């Protein structure tokens, strides 16, 4: 009996990634931004490229992630329906780029000034949509627990380390793989420009392991 249970457990663990690949998808739900913000972010990337850094692709419009995790594919219509309800009642939101930030795990961001509307949408969204996500098939690694001890509870509930109260609206510039020397660059080149624009809507894209994506699959504009 015990051997049979162990065999079933092993088979289940081997099949889980395959089942998950067909039933779940990692979605990056994000804010769309206006042209002044897009231009400023791409200029920042270009300046880093001149210095030899390999930045995140400039082929896609810069965006601010609201919520990213693995969702059940069958819940896509519920997710878009919820986001559509936000868009029809929301006016464009003014934002301002504020500073560089090199994160604890080595990513380089351009962050925005605090914004109550952005925080409200994020908080409402994670609470409305986390029930549609694909639950973890295994516990977080010990390395993750050691690095982010205060975020594991949120990770298990929402499927993301970057949720309230650790949500930081930002534009990703360098991944941790390509950020060697970024600390020296931002120390010598602090962000001093005042660049203000608007968040114009919300979009969805299927993301890779690093949270990046090739194209937007669905979007709606703010029209409140």
Distance from C-alpha of 75 to C-alpha of 129, rounded to nearest angstrom: 9
pLDDT > 70: percent of the chain? 89
Lowest-pLDDT choice from 112-116, 142-146, 180-184 = 142-146
Closest CA to 133 of 29, 13, 2, 11: 29
Higher pLDDT, 159 or 59: 159
Question: Average model confidence (pLDDT) for the chain?
Answer: 90
Higher pLDDT, 19 or 195: 195
Q: What is the mean pLDDT of residues 51-75?
A: 92
* Band of pLDDT at residue 223, cut at 50, 70 and 90: very high
Residues in the chain: 224
Closest CA to 192 of 87, 110, 102: 110
Burial of 83 per CB tally in 10 Å (0-12, 13-18, 19+) = buried
* Band of pLDDT at residue 84, cut at 50, 70 and 90: very high
What is the pLDDT at residue 20? Answer: 54
* Band of pLDDT at residue 18, cut at 50, 70 and 90: very low
Q: What is the mean pLDDT of residues 11-22?
A: 48
Contact 61, 203 (CB under 8 A): no
Lowest-pLDDT choice from 15-24, 79-88, 124-133 = 15-24
| DSSP letter assigned to residue 178 | G
Q: What is the mean pLDDT of residues 121-147?
A: 92
Whether the predicted pLDDT of 10 surpasses 60: no
Distance from C-alpha of 102 to C-alpha of 144, rounded to nearest angstrom: 18
Whether the predicted pLDDT of 120 surpasses 80: yes
Whether the predicted pLDDT of 12 surpasses 50: no
Using one digit for the tens of pLDDT, what is the confidence trace for 174-192?
999 999 999 999 999 999 9
Lowest-pLDDT choice from 3-12, 166-175, 211-220 = 3-12
Using CA atoms, how far residue 216 sits from 98, 176, 177, 207, in Å, is: 26, 24, 24, 10
- Under 8 Å CB-to-CB from 200, ≥6 apart: which residues? 31, 32, 33, 34, 92, 221, 222
- Under 8 Å CB-to-CB from 221, ≥6 apart: which residues? 32, 87, 200, 201
């Amino acid at each position: 009996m015990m051997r049979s249970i162990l065999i079933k457990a092993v088979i289940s663990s081997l099949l889980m990634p395959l089942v998950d690949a067909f039933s779940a998808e990692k979605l990056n739900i994000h804010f769309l931004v206006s042209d002044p913000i897009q231009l400023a972010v791409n200029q920042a990337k270009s300046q880093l490229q001149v210095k030899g850094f390999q930045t995140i692709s400039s082929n896609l419009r810069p965006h601010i992630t609201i919520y990213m995790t693995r969702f059940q594919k069958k819940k896509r219509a519920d997710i878009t329906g919820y986001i559509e309800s936000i868009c029809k009642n929301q006016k464009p939101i003014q934002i301002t780029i504020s500073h560089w930030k090199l994160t604890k795990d080595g990513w380089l961001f351009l962050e925005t000034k605090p914004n109550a509307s952005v925080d409200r949408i994020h908080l409402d969204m994670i609470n409305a949509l986390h029930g549609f996500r694909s639950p973890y098939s295994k516990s977080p690694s010990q390395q993750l627990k050691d690095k982010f001890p205060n975020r594991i509870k949120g990770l298990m509930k929402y499927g993301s380390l970057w949720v309230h109260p650790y949500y930081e609206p930002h534009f990703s510039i360098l991944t941790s793989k390509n950020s060697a020397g970024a600390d020296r660059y931002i120390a010598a080149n602090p962000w001093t420009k005042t660049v203000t624009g608007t968040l114009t809507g919300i979009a969805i894209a299927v993301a890779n392991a690093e949270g990046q994506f090739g194209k937007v699959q669905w979007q709606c504009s703010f029209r409140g």
